[in-house]
Amino acid sequence: MAAGKVLAGQGPEELKELMAEFGEPSYRAAQLIKWIYRPVAAIGEMSNLPIGLRERLVQETVYHPCSRVTVRRSQDGTRKYLLELQDGELIESVYIPEADRSTVCISSQVGCKMGCTFCATGSMGFVRHLTAGEIVDQVLQVILDVGSRPSNVVYMGMGEPLENYGPLLRSIEILNAAWGLNIGIRQITVSTCGLVPGIRRLGKEGLGLTLAVSLHAADDEKRSRIMPVARVYSLDELLDALHEYAARTKRRITIEYALMAGFNDSREDARQLTELLRGLLCHVNLIPVNPIPGGLHHKPRDNQIVRFENWLRRGGLEVKERGADIEAACGQLRGRWEEI
């Protein structure tokens, strides 16, 4: 491991090499990795490492690649983080506490090139991929702030995770590993706008994670109007890949559907969606769209949301209880935030 390397994101093997490079006994690697993912705020706090080693680590490595710029809190306890990366780029992460679990929503890229018309991240364009260390450090930053490990992690912040495949898989490994954050693989959700080759590849990895797919329309033409990716992969191809994914992993897929008034919330839209998803091991997560500044889409009225939900249920689809929708679109959360 070269000097200047980032500690968050390293595994046992790399740390053993680093300790060898430093002329330290190899058990130091095991001590170090415990500190990295426990985590502490700074190398100076790694109290069972000799002072000399700590000093050398401070000089030659970076522990946390993310630093907290602001933390905003909403009345329900949700916290939204603005994090700065080493090159000055900014990303967002969200902490969502609930009665029986707590979720951290993380970003996988700075910006996103997929250009979905309803999405705040999409409108800023693509800047760069995140490294595995930058992905994992978002969770470490939340732990440092709230004082406990989350039960769930969702890749629903900024960016398209399947576009950043290698770092995505590496970050999942670290979140899940006993030497890492030890978060159950079933408690990890990857959300994609529907990149078919990536879905197929992920299915073959044999991981038990949860796949979420942003559908938002059950008709190719309509979907293309809000999601340019629909011009590259048709719903037919996407559904094929989802059936294969479900068959391989035996895991229920989450279908995300952001309801937009007068656009995708009619009885006919519900019928098409029911038709499209028939026979797929999935449930539908209905999210009233979060209007973005200058955006064209608005939330349907509450009674229309309930009607749409009932149409889906009557059509035989499983619809997630509402309230869980806080999980989706967490990168786009717009609430009443107070700086703390």
In a 3-state reduction of DSSP, which class is residue 335? coil
**Residue 256 near which of ligand SAH, ligand SF4, none (CB within 5-8 Å, type-dependent):** ligand SAH
Q: State the minimum distance, in angstroms, from the CB of residue 218 to ligand SAH.
A: 14
Pairing mode, strands 79-84 and 188-192? unpaired
Question: Binding segment for ligand SF4 among 113-121, 133-141, 168-176, 286-294 (CB under 6 A)?
Answer: 113-121
Residue 90 or 144 with smaller CB distance to ligand SAH: 90
- Say whether residue 167 binds ligand SAH (CB under 6 A): no
Of 156, 212, 186, 187, nearest to 326 (Cα)?
156
- DSSP secondary structure, 276-290, as one string: HHTT-SEEEEEEE--
Has 338 been annotated as catalytic? no
Has 66 been annotated as catalytic? no
CA gap 340, 337 in Å, rounded: 9
- Say whether residue 137 binds ligand SAH (CB under 6 A): no
CA gap 107, 88 in Å, rounded: 16
- Say whether residue 10 binds ligand SF4 (CB under 6 A): no
Q: State the minimum distance, in angstroms, from the CB of residue 24 to ligand SAH.
A: 40
Residue 226 or 317 with smaller CB distance to ligand SAH: 226
Burial of 36 (0-12, 13-18, 19+ CB in 10 A): buried
Convert residues 161-190 into a mask of x (bound to ligand SF4 by CB under 6 A) and - (unbound).
------------------------------
Bridge partners (DSSP) listed for residue 283 = 254
What is the DSSP code (8-state) at residue 299? Answer: P
Continuous segment of H or E residues that includes residue 68: strand 67-73
Return the residue nearest ligand SF4 (CB atom): 122
- Terminal-to-terminal C-alpha distance of the chain: 37
Q: What tokens does 224 get?
A: 């293309």
Q: What tokens does 215 get?
A: 């559908």
Q: State the minimum distance, in angstroms, from the CB of residue 222 to ligand SF4.
A: 16
Which residue in 146, 169, 185, 292 binds ligand SAH (CB under 6 A)?
A: 292
Bridge partners (DSSP) listed for residue 14 = none
Residue 112 or 140 with smaller CB distance to ligand SF4: 112
- Say whether residue 105 binds ligand SF4 (CB under 6 A): no
Would you tell me which residues interact with ligand SAH (CB under 6 A)?
A: 118-119, 156, 160, 191-193, 214, 256, 258, 287, 289-290, 292, 328-329, 331-332
Catalytic residues: 92, 330
